[in-house]
Structure formats: C-alpha cells, structure tokens
Structure 1
Amino acid sequence: MPEITLPLRTERLILRRFESTDLDAFHAYHSLPETARFLPGEAKSYTKCMESVGKYANFVYEKENDWVCLAIEAKGSPGLLGEVVLKWLPGRGQGEVGWTLAPASRGKGYGAEAADAVLKLGFEELGMHRIEAKLDALNTASAALCERLGMRLEARLVDKWHYKGQWATELVYAILEGEWRARRQ
C-alpha cells in the first residue's frame, strides 16, 4: 500500500494529522451526547479524548484493518472542525469512510468536501476498488451526505446492532472506483 502524503488540501479545507493542540476542540464536541448519538460508545471523557487524539496523531497505515483519522481544518482559519476516517477493510481493494463534525461545522458542506477528498485518496493514491459507509438509519444527515457523494444504498440491515439501549438498523452505502471517477468527469 502506498504511503499517505499529508496534508490533503481541498478548495476550503486542510486534512491533516491530529496534533496535541486539537484536544480541547475534540473534547468539546466528542463530549456531547448529540455527537455520540451515532457513534459507538457514550460521550467521551477528557481522558478518552486524550487517548483518541494521541492514537489519531500517530496512525500507521500499512495493512488491512489499519485506519487513518484526519483532522478537518478550514484553510486560513486554524481550528478543528471535525474528523474524517478511512479504514482499510479486509479483502482486495476495500475501504470504509466515516466522519464526525463539531456542531458549528455541520450543514456547511465540510463533511462532504472532506469525505470526497478521502475517497480520492482511497481510489487514486491507495488503489482501492470499493469504499463503503455504514451508518444508523436514523442518521439522516449522514445518509444525505452519502448520496451527495454519489454513494448508493446497498443494504438495509434491520436491527443489526443493539446499542444505547435500543436496536438500530444499519444502512450500508458504497461507491466503486469507476463510479467515483465517472462522477468527477
């Protein structure tokens, strides 16, 4: 697998490794129940956020099941807006994308712009064939973002997980490398 060259730059964003200075902003949104609602686990404590930021800052992307979590920052305006993730799934050329944004950063297209940059990384630099996104069916904002990215709904797995005291239906969206390239032309 080729090495990931950072930062990634888009029209409005810089996607970079996490830094220790991101901790307070990361904790500010990961400690919120509304952020944790569609993530595994509960809202994060400061200590858990320290562990996460340290792990994200020092990622290694060399083999299946490795993943990169990049800090999203606006060009010309330092500060953490959220994060975007690319996981290398088992099987030839398979990946998974995900994102989490701070409340003030939602609804501005940052998630779609960051996720599209990670799709580009996966398809153009890392040679992936298929990238998917898995989400709770109640997460309508992320479902809409998947559709804006050109991902198609491939599966609806009813009562797939039991978390946060209730059963959740999982949606699986995906896009193939050829579909992604066709959208960019």
Structure 2
Amino acid sequence: MPDITLPIRTERLILRRFEGRDLDAFHGYHSMPETARFLPGPAKTYTQSMERVGKYANFVFEKEGDWVCLAIEAKGSAGLLGEMVLKWLPGRGQGEAGWTLAPGARGKGYATEAAEGVLKLGFEELGFHRIEARLDELNTASAVLCERLGMRLEARLVDKWHYKGQWATELVYSILEKEWRTRG
C-alpha cells in the first residue's frame, strides 16, 4: 500500500499528525467522563494523555494491524477539535474508522466532514474494500453519523462488551468501496 499523504484537507478541516502542542486540548476532553463514556477505559490522566499523544504523533501505517490517529483542526484556526482513527484490519482491504470530538466541536458537522476525509483516504488512496465502525448501541450520535456517511447497520451484538460495570450492545456499521463511490 502507498504511504499516507498528510495532511488531509477538507472544506473546513485539516487532518494531520498529532503534535506536542495538542496535549493540553487532548487531555482537556479525554479527562472528561462524558468523553470516556463510549471509549475503553476510564477518563485519562495527564500522563496517559501524554503517552497517547506521543504514540499518535509517531504512527507507522505499513501493514495489517497498523492504525493511524489523526488530529482534527479547523482551517485557519489552530487548536485540536478531536481525532479520527483508521485501523487496517486483518483480511484483504478491511478497515475500521472511529472518532472522538471535544465537546465544543460536537454538533457542527466536523465529525461527518472528518470521517468523510478518512473514508476517502481508506478507499481512494489506500485501496480498502470495506470500512466498518463499531460502537456502543447507546452512542446514538455515532450511529446517526454512520448513517449520514452512507454506512449500513450490519450487526447488533447483544451484551458483546462488559465495560464500565455494565454490559454493552455493539453495533457494527459498514460501507463498501463501491457504495462509497456511488453514494448520493
């Protein structure tokens, strides 16, 4: 697969590698219980945030099992709005996308625009055949986003995860490359 061309530019956003300057903003929203609600593990400590930002800044995307986490920034306005993840799953041309946004960036269409940029990267630059998103059934905002992206609900796995003291039902949405190219 070819190298990833960064940054990715959309109409309003820049998706780029994480940098040290992103740490405080990243920790700001990842330390909040409302952000951690649908992510594995509890809200992050400052040290955990430092480790994560360092890992995200130095990703390698060369083979199955690799993944990239890109910082989302508004054009013309420095500052971290959130992040987009693209994982290269085992199996020919399989990927998984995920996203987290800071509270102040939610509800403005940034997640949709950033996710479209990552789906375009996966399908048009990396040649993926299928990209999925896995989410907690209670995460209705992400389910709506998946549908807005043209993804279809493929599975509902009841009590699939036990985290944060309770069972969670997992939803699996996906879109194929041919569906991406012909979506309306």
| TM-score normalised by L of structure 2 | 0.99
Displacement of 1:75 in angstroms is 0.2
CA distance in 1, matches of 2:2, 2:120: 14
User: What does the per-residue CA deviation read over 1:156-183, in whole Å, with 9 as the maximum and x for residues that have no partner?
Assistant: 0000000000000000000000000001
Displacement of 1:147 in angstroms is 0.2
Q: What code does the residue aligned with 1:104 have?
A: G
Q: Which residue of 2 aligns with 1:65?
A: 65
1:3 partnered with 2:3: yes
Runs of 4+ in structure 1 over 6 Å off: none
Partner of 2:183: helix, strand, or coil? helix
Q: What code does the residue aligned with 1:96 have?
A: E
Q: Which residue of 2 aligns with 1:153?
A: 153
Among all aligned residue pairs of Structure 1 and Structure 2, give the percentage whose two residues are the same amino acid. Answer: 84
Q: What code does the residue aligned with 1:150 have?
A: G
Q: Which residue of 1 aligns with 2:79?
A: 79
User: What does the per-residue CA deviation read over 1:30-67, in whole Å, with 9 as the maximum and x for residues that have no partner?
Assistant: 00000000000000000000000000000000111100
Structure 2 segments unaligned to the other structure (5+ residues): none
CA distance in 2, matches of 1:119, 1:81: 18
| TM-score normalised by L of structure 1 | 0.99
Structure 1 segments unaligned to the other structure (5+ residues): none
Q: What code does the residue aligned with 2:75 have?
A: K
Question: What's the RMSD between the two structures over aligned residues?
Answer: 0.5
How many residues are treated as equivalent by the alignment? 184
CA distance in 2, matches of 1:145, 1:78: 25
CA distance in 2, matches of 1:69, 1:95: 13
CA distance in 1, matches of 2:172, 2:65: 18
